[in-house]
Structure 1
Amino acid sequence: MNQSRSYGESRRRRPVNNKVPAGWLDYTPLHTWIENTRLVPFKCPLRWSILRNLNQRDRFSLNDLIERLDYRKRELGLIIDLTDTHRYYDYRDVEDLDIEYCKIRVPGHQDVSDENCQNFFRIVNKFLRNNRQNDKLIGIHCTHGVNRSGYFIARYLIEILGLQPDEAIAAFNRARGHKIEKNIEDLQTRKKIHVTFSSSSSSSSSSSSSSDREVDEYYTAKDRPLPYTRPSIDPTSDEISPTKSQITT
């Protein structure tokens, strides 16, 4: 999952943009993972050169992310980055933390391609298949960790795990602490599918089908889902402060 050398070379040639992403400060960093899964959405952590001019309480870096999960005795095994830029943090810092990193470039304010969703499904399923003996989390973020992240996660919950659209959207909203605002009508049309990823041979296709069954079995086994207590109050409602988070330090 390494990036190409040309990426690093091109970064050195570009001027550095140290602006905080638009709207980033309006969202809490993270709340908790999606119930009965290992998927945890959060807003994009930022590198120090962007954070240094912010108040301490407003900062959210890779180290802050790790510390907040450590507090809950949870460990990240993979970060899926859905932003359409490389400027927010260096993927090598993720790998230095012994966390896998995968980039799916998804432009904001545009329709999401089925190809990107299939790629997302494949990455998540592969990680779960290779990490059946541990409970490492899969972190997913876009810039704010809401609309693009919510869309990909909700489609996974619907199409792979078989949740009804309303259940999937509500599960994401509870876990993120912010509501998905876009592509709701599209998500309402989705339903469970039998995933068959494109491959060059019938044996690969057979292996893929077997993998999908393994993922289904992982999530239906009663002793595998992570411990999770659903909030007594919906964190996306107006009854509590938007800054309240279930994952705190």
Structure 2
Amino acid sequence: MVKKNSIPDRWRSLKSIGQRVPGARFIAFKVPLKGVTNQRVTQNQKFTPKDLITAIRSQSEELGLIIDLTNTERYYTTKDLPKSVQYVKLHTAGLKIPDDATIHQFKRVVWKFLAANSDNDRLIGVHCTTGINRTGHLICRYLIDVDEWRPLHALSAFAQARGHPIEGTVYIEDIVKGPPRSNVGIDMPPAIGETLDGGDDTYSDDMPR
């Protein structure tokens, strides 16, 4: 059983945050940890939600949305984020390709954010635990399925921006050889009461914290 405030495997050794994917509005990073958990790491390893916002601003960028792909609630809460940053939780299991419904939901959340923020350049931050495999796969799927990027270009651009390449063979094979997933309905507005994050919070531009 995983301890409540334990540090994820490999977390300490990974680059905290990458840079913006060139030609897109994605930025990938490892999961930030709440303050009590960061007491277990060195000062140089510390990476909290506040550190995340500071790091992105230091790149002269602004974060508008976080899509959290971790399959747990233990790392941090929305109370740790500024109210200006929207948050969507998509519970996504590791070590396997997300199902088509999750891929579609991810693309729909991204599409809705980009449509609502066409007048600005705010970034979409995406993370799983490491910010590499699940994160890279879903970002690449969007770039390939929606923006019509070539698979190898998407893979390369993500690796360069994140500072770590996608490692999981199943993810790489799906990106390179897998079929395009349907985009039908990703541009549809949510139904009344519908949640796009699979949780209790309705995804909206003024989502309460």
State the TM bucket, normalised to the shorter chain.
0.7 to 0.9
Number of matched pairs: 186
* 1:42 aligns to 2:29 (yes or no): yes
Bigger fraction of residues in helix? 1
Distance (whole Å) between structure 2 residues aligned to residue 50 and residue 85 of structure 1:
15
2:13 equivalent in structure 1 = 26
Q: Normalization by structure 1: what TM-score?
A: 0.70
Residues 185-243 of structure 1, C-alpha deviations (whole Å, 9 max, x = no match): 111124667721289xxxx59xxxxxxxxxxxxxxxxxxxxxxxxxxxxxxxxxxxxxx
1:146 equivalent in structure 2 = 132
Residues 43-94 of structure 1, C-alpha deviations (whole Å, 9 max, x = no match): 0000011001211100111111111111122111100000000100012322
* 1:88 aligns to 2:75 (yes or no): yes
Larger radius of gyration: 1
Select which of 124, 138, 161 maps to 1:175: 161
Query: Taking structure 1 as reference, are residues 193 and 115 closer, same or farther at Cα in structure 2, changes over 3 Å only?
Result: closer
RMSD: 2.0
Distance (whole Å) between structure 1 residues aligned to residue 92 and residue 107 of structure 2:
15
Distance (whole Å) between structure 1 residues aligned to residue 119 and residue 87 of structure 2:
20
**Residue 122 of structure 1: CA displacement?**
0.3
Distance (whole Å) between structure 1 residues aligned to residue 19 and residue 49 of structure 2:
16
1:197 equivalent in structure 2 = 185
Structure 1 unaligned blocks of 5 or more: 1-14, 206-249
Select which of 114, 129, 133 maps to 2:119: 133
Distance (whole Å) between structure 2 residues aligned to residue 103 and residue 181 of structure 1:
23
Select which of 64, 70, 76 maps to 2:51: 64
- Identity of matched residues, %: 37
Letter in 2 for 1:37: A
Structure 2 unaligned blocks of 5 or more: 190-209
